[in-house]
Amino acid sequence: MRHMRPLNQKAARIDGYVESRTEDVAALQNPPGGNQAQRPHVPMGCALMFTPGWEVDAAGGTAGLCQPVERDIYDCFVSCYWPAQVPDHLNNAPDWNSKCAVATKDWQKLDLVFP
Amino acid sequence: MQRISLLAVLGAAFSAVACAGTLYLPAYPNSVLVFDEGKGQIVDRIPLTTGTPMGIRLSGDHKTIYVTTIDHNGIEVIDVATRKVTNHFELNTPTKQFRMFTGAADPQGKLFYTVTKEITKFPDHFEVGEPKYTLIDLAQQKIVKTVDIPKEEMPNNEGDFGAGQMDVSPDGKYLYQFGEKITILDSSDFKVVDHIDLSRPDAPGMENVHFGGDLDLINEPGEHTALFVSSDPIVHNRVFGLARFDLDTRRMDFSPIGPAPPGMAGIEVTPDKKWAYTVVASGMHGTKRCEFWRFDLTTDRITNRAEVPCRTRFTLGISTNGQKLYIYGAGFDIEVYDAATLKYEKTWDLNNDVTYAGIVVLP
């Protein structure tokens, strides 16, 4: 609840400035504030970070993703880099790719993982 | 001044190697691929017992390869001559993980210096410790010493991508860590002996020097050769070039090449040290554009530029004879370009995804 409201023009400008410094939830590498260009606000839960991104890249598109996406899938898996989107290599699914040397070609050989 | 001394070494030290070499590529899920450049195919596969390779280092005498693996934080020692694993072990215990960052073996191949984070598993949570200097005895196959890292050394050891690269002096007495500065440590107790401040190097007109990755192929025994980027103290114009650090005398030579472009995928130098190559990237995502740049190191001039398709993530490599350029990762193939014309030649299908540990190239 707000207990204070601006009464004169200068106070209104200060209030506006403070408001402008407050943003919605944004990607982790794009903290609120500063003079950074506005970026797409991709819904959280889809991905926490966008380097280069999972479903979308930092620009909200797909041009920045590895193509095809299977090229990148092991590097995302191996260090729990994307622990929600790809099985957890270090703790719960270390053998997920043990029968598949090339994810792009042999993705059918990847093990099934059930949460 | 420094350029003259480095160019003298550049010109005299090596002659072009005509024969094809061998690439050692860490690969998923748990092997090192041995790839023959001449045949253009995998000729051997070194299986790793301890899991997925995440780091690879060549010893100073080029006889041994040290591989670190991530599954259970293991080390595997490969004899280059026989392509066999001669030693392997894991650091993890049922309740402890020791995540390794960087690493270098001593010249005798008995000790392995690294930085580790200890992760302790409790019934309901994990606790992640601070990074520590760590000494591993390769014969005993265990950690024999850990030392707390001083607060002022933390920037070199807790970055997003781990710790600054390490190297050991030829006599084994000192350990060097390359980062925002070069830290010189006593290898017996990890006490900081000295620093070389790269923000104010002992070189006229330079400040804020940053070292890139080590260039194994043109390294001579006892030296660390790498890409550097610096800026001048007045206009703050960014310049890149080659830096050579003598691990014995701690003398540093800089050979500036030219203004640093915004995005540079490392640098590769031919064995005769006359030519250097990089890939320069501009734009991002859909507008990203990449170019090969070819430099004549005898005149420090760009002689060729050519557009090359951008991968989202990739690594630039060079053949052992300096006649081919490689673009590889993420994925299962290596694109081969002619180094003289910068034209695409072919793609080698490894039929195996490689990790981002880097590669070792041997003549």
Are the Cβ atoms of A66 and B70 closer than 8 angstroms? no
Give B70-132 as a 3 state SS string.
Answer: CCCCEEEEEECCCCEEEEEEECCCCCEEEEEEEEEECCCCCEEEEEEEEEEECCCCEEEEEEE
What rounded mean pLDDT belongs to chain B? 86
**ipTM exceeds 0.85, yes or no:** no
In this structure, what DSSP letter does residue A97 have?
A: T
Q: Cβ of B331 and A66 within 8 Å?
A: yes
The pLDDT of residue B109 is 95
Q: In this predicted structure, what is the pLDDT of residue B216?
A: 66
B305 CA: distance to closest CA in chain A (Å): 24
Asked whether residue B254 carries a pLDDT value surpassing 60, the answer given is yes
Which residues of chain B neighbour A52 with C-beta distances below 8 Å? 312-313
Distance of CA B158 to the CA centre of its chain: 18
For residues A89 and B148, the model is more confident at B148
Among B285, B312, B352, beta carbon nearest to A101: B352
Is the CB of A64 less than 8 angstroms away from the CB of B288? yes
Q: Chain B closest CA to A75's CA: distance in Å?
A: 7
Residue B192: pLDDT band (50, 70, 90) is very high
Catalytic residues of A: 72
Give the angle subtended at the CA of A22 by the CAs of A84 and A56, to the nearest 5°. 30
Interface residues on A facing B, Cβ-Cβ cutoff 8 A: 52, 57-59, 61, 63-67, 71-72, 74-75, 78-79, 89-90, 94, 97-98, 100-105
Selection from A73-77, B71-75, B99-103 with the highest mean pLDDT: B71-75
Q: Pick from B54, B51, B50: which is nearest to B26 by CA?
A: B54
Asked whether B267 and B212 are in contact (CB, 8 A), the reply is yes
Q: Which of B25, B28, B315, B350 is the best substitution to test chain A (most A C-beta atoms within 10 A)?
A: B28
* Contact present, B273 and B242 (Cβ < 8 Å): no
d(CA A87, CA B156): 31
- How many other β-carbons are positioned within 10 Å of the β-carbon of residue B233? 12
Confidence (pLDDT) at B7: 41
A72–B285 C-beta distance less than 8 A: no
B261 has a pLDDT exceeding 70? yes
Of the ranges A35-44, B284-293, B308-317, B318-327, which one carries the lowest mean pLDDT score? A35-44
Q: Which residue, chain included where needed, has tokens 């002992």?
A: B202
Q: A30, A56, A66: best mutation site toward chain B, by most B Cβ within 10 Å?
A: A66
Tens of pLDDT, residues B101-142: 889 999 999 999 999 999 999 999 989 999 999 999 999 999
Contacts for B244 with CB less than 8 Å, ≥ 6 apart: B6, B9, B223, B224, B225, B252, B253, B255
Closest CA to B25 of B49, B45, B50: B45
